[in-house]
């Protein structure tokens, strides 16, 4: 682990029209992206909103799951709860340090991405080459504050509905 606090990293798949979700679900099937998501997040704390947790339906294995909620009666087993963004990120950084990893992964949804973007140092962006209908959006930031440092086409497999690119955006000092 590098020196300093573990960095905040957003992991998001975004269609060309900015859509990231529809009715609480992903608006596409991209098995290759889900495999990459698992590879990026395994062994690290993941921060998500209650609706994102509900869409997944269970804690993600091999990761510390931190769910942001204002609902006092929400107590799913196997997750940490936080009532505020700052508390969720601080808990994530503490758990990351305990695990010896240098990243806290923010995995959605729309409101959580919007409220953590100003704290993020990196974004793992999957640019989905499609324009699906949806009700949740994320508009990736660009220069001069952010710079693309990596791009590779997703190798499209039989369970991938659309082509996509894997992109890394890093915040500039």
Write down the pLDDT at residue 145: 97
pLDDT, tens digit, 9 for 90 and up, residues 25-63: 999 999 999 999 999 999 999 999 999 999 999 999 999
DSSP bridge partners of 82: 68
Residue 99 domain-assigned? yes
Give yes or no for residue 140 having a pLDDT over 90: yes
For strands 65-68 and 46-49, give the pairing. parallel
pTM for the full predicted model: 0.96
DSSP bridge partners of 105: 9, 46
Write down the pLDDT at residue 155: 97
Residue 103 near residue 1 (C-beta atoms within 8 A): no
Eight-class DSSP state of 33: H
Residue 2 domain-assigned? no
Reference 157, options 36, 18, 72; nearest CA is 36
Reference 78, options 58, 97, 96; nearest CA is 58
Residue 14 domain-assigned? yes
The four Cα atoms 10, 100, 96, 62 give a dihedral, to 10 degrees, of: 80
Residue 36 domain-assigned? yes
Q: How many domains does the chain have?
A: 1
Reference 107, options 41, 15, 173; nearest CA is 41
Q: Domain containing 76: what range?
A: 7-171
Write down the pLDDT at residue 72: 87
Residue 81 domain-assigned? yes
Q: Which SS3 state, helix, strand or coil, does residue 166 take? A: strand
Please give the structure tokens belonging to residue 95: 């758990």
The CATH code of the domain that includes 14 is 3.40.430.10
């Amino acid at each position: 682990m590098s020196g300093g606090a573990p960095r905040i990293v957003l992991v998001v798949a975004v269609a060309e029209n900015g859509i990231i979700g529809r009715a609480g679900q992903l608006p596409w099937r991209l098995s290759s992206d889900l495999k990459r998501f698992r590879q990026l997040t395994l062994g690290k704390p993941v921060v998500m909103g209650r609706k994102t947790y509900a869409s997944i339906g269970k804690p993600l294995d091999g990761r510390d799951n931190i769910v942001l909620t204002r609902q006092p009666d929400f107590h799913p087993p196997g997750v940490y709860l936080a009532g505020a963004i700052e508390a969720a990120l601080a808990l994530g950084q503490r758990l990351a340090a305990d695990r010896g990893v240098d990243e806290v992964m923010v995995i959605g949804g729309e409101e959580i991405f919007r409220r953590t973007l100003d704290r993020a140092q990196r974004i793992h962006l999957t640019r989905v080459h499609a324009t699906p209908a949806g009700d949740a959006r994320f508009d990736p930031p660009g220069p001069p504050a952010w710079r693309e440092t990596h791009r590779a086409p997703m190798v499209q497999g039989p369970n991938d509905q659309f082509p996509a690119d894997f992109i890394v955006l890093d915040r500039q000092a």
